[in-house]
Amino acid sequence: MQKNLMLAVVKVSAAPGVVIKKVPIPKPGKDEVLVKVIYASICGTDIGIYDWIPWAAAHIKPPTIIGHEMVGKVLKVNTKQKTDIKVGDLVSSETHIFCLNCFQCKIKNYHVCENIQLFGIGRDGAYAEYATIPLRTTWKNDPAISIEAMSVQEPLGNAVNAVGKAKVKGKKVLIMGLGPTGLCAGGVARATGAKEVVGVNDEPYRRKLAMKTGWFDRVVDVLDIKEHNSFDTVLEMSGNRLGIEVAFDAVRIAGTIIAFGIPKENISIDWGKYLINKELIIRSVFGRQLWKTWHQTTDLLKSGKVDLSKIITHKFRLKDFDKAMAVMKSRQCGKIILEP
């Protein structure tokens, strides 16, 4: 490696694809840390970024180093603030970089900051040998957790936040969509006392993987959900039109729907039939509460109640990012981890 250069996955222009190339090692700005990336994991969002969907075009100004789920070792802490983060710590980044100034930040609702900036999307991220992270979104990991799991705390955190809002203890739960967050939601629902956990996915590989985790009582194709007005809680994590329709049908009267999956298109629903007549509780969830969700996630991982190694299926070198993305798009995978 040439001095002061590192390998990185860069969105170089406003078009599909990425370029894997040498770029300068970043310097930490004021109140930032510099980390050596150990693992970064591929998120569903990264597929849209790779393919350059309209959402990506609206949020990324190339050139940008992408990647936001990660664990790394702190090499430098550039701050005069008081902090417990020090050189050598194993840290992860919270993707939602908050501003501290807006109304939501003032009421400590940081994850829905009005001026949110996204790590690895609105600024350089972690598909690289080194990365800089704002100190205020740097999470110091508990060394009792496996290093692989440290890089997969974003989907688990989403699941912890979503399942927590649904209050699933003793409930019959349907999880629509079994990407990493949906899979994790099964683990969290099981660990927090759900009576029955049913998973839904149209991809046989994902159904098999979900059953192997032991977190689900049943895993079926969306077309096999014939139970109407049956589930106390539906976690909608697919963002899929059919999945959303089935979710509203399958939830019981006065049940709860947690909206998490982001559709690629506008979705319309029968307002009278579902929202009024069924008297549902609908709760949307966007990311993880800071830092409450991260503490809960740590507890779950330490307790062994949710073992993320069950859903980590592939590991690739960073230089093989295009290969990893092809597997990701094939959906013949759980979580994919990259190693610089």
CB under 8 Å to 80, separation ≥6 — which residues? none
- Contacting range for Zn ion; rule: CB under 5 A; set: 150-158, 166-174, 234-242, 327-335: 150-158
Using rule CB under 5 A, residue 184 touches Zn ion: no
H/E stretch holding 47 reads: helix 44-51
Question: Would you say 92 and 59 are in contact if contact means Cβ atoms under 8 Å apart?
Answer: no
Binding mask 257-296 for Zn ion (x = CB under 5 A): ----------------------------------------
- Contacting range for Zn ion; rule: CB under 5 A; set: 39-47, 140-148, 172-180, 287-295: 39-47
Site for Zn ion in 109-138 (CB under 5 A): 113, 115
H/E stretch holding 227 reads: none
What is the bridge-based pairing of β-strands 251-259 and 231-236? parallel
Using rule CB under 5 A, residue 42 touches Zn ion: no
Q: Using the minimum distance from each CB to Zn ion, give the nearer residue, 105 or 174.
A: 105
Residue 276: CB minimum distance to Zn ion, A: 34
Residue 327: CB minimum distance to Zn ion, A: 17
Q: Read off the amino acid at residue 106.
A: K
- Contacting range for Zn ion; rule: CB under 5 A; set: 83-91, 93-101, 166-174, 269-277: 93-101
Of 86, 97, 98, which Cα lies nearest the Cα of 141?
Answer: 86
Q: Using the minimum distance from each CB to Zn ion, give the nearer residue, 154 or 232.
A: 154
Alpha helices, DSSP H only, in 254-314?
Answer: 292-303
The Cα 129–Cα 9 span in angstroms is 10
SS3 call for 302: helix
Q: Read off the amino acid at residue 16.
A: P
Binding Zn ion by CB under 5 A: which of 89, 154, 232, 249? 154
Alpha helices, DSSP H only, in the chain?
Answer: 44-51, 54-59, 103-106, 147-150, 153-166, 180-191, 204-213, 241-250, 292-303, 321-330
Question: Would you say 206 and 178 are in contact if contact means Cβ atoms under 8 Å apart?
Answer: yes
- Contacting range for Zn ion; rule: CB under 5 A; set: 36-44, 48-56, 72-80, 296-304: 36-44
Residue 95: CB minimum distance to Zn ion, A: 6
Binding mask 207-246 for Zn ion (x = CB under 5 A): ----------------------------------------
The residue nearest Zn ion at its CB is 43
Q: Using the minimum distance from each CB to Zn ion, give the nearer residue, 111 or 171.
A: 111
Q: What is the DSSP string of 172-226?
A: EEEEE--SHHHHHHHHHHHHTT-SEEEEE-S-HHHHHHHHHHT--SEEE-GGG--
Residue 68: CB minimum distance to Zn ion, A: 5
What is the bridge-based pairing of β-strands 32-41 and 172-176? unpaired
Question: Would you say 225 and 174 are in contact if contact means Cβ atoms under 8 Å apart?
Answer: yes
Q: Read off the amino acid at residue 26.
A: P
Instruction: Return the structure tokens found at 88.
Output: 């050598």
Binding Zn ion by CB under 5 A: which of 19, 53, 57, 102? 102
Q: Using the minimum distance from each CB to Zn ion, give the nearer residue, 98 or 294.
A: 98
- Contacting range for Zn ion; rule: CB under 5 A; set: 149-157, 187-195, 241-249, 331-339: 149-157
Q: Using the minimum distance from each CB to Zn ion, give the nearer residue, 124 or 154.
A: 154
Using rule CB under 5 A, residue 105 touches Zn ion: yes
Q: Using the minimum distance from each CB to Zn ion, give the nearer residue, 133 or 250.
A: 133
Binding Zn ion by CB under 5 A: which of 19, 57, 85, 99? 99
Question: Would you say 101 and 60 are in contact if contact means Cβ atoms under 8 Å apart?
Answer: no
Q: Under the rule (CB under 5 A), what is the footprint of Zn ion?
A: 43, 45, 98-99, 102, 105, 113, 115, 154
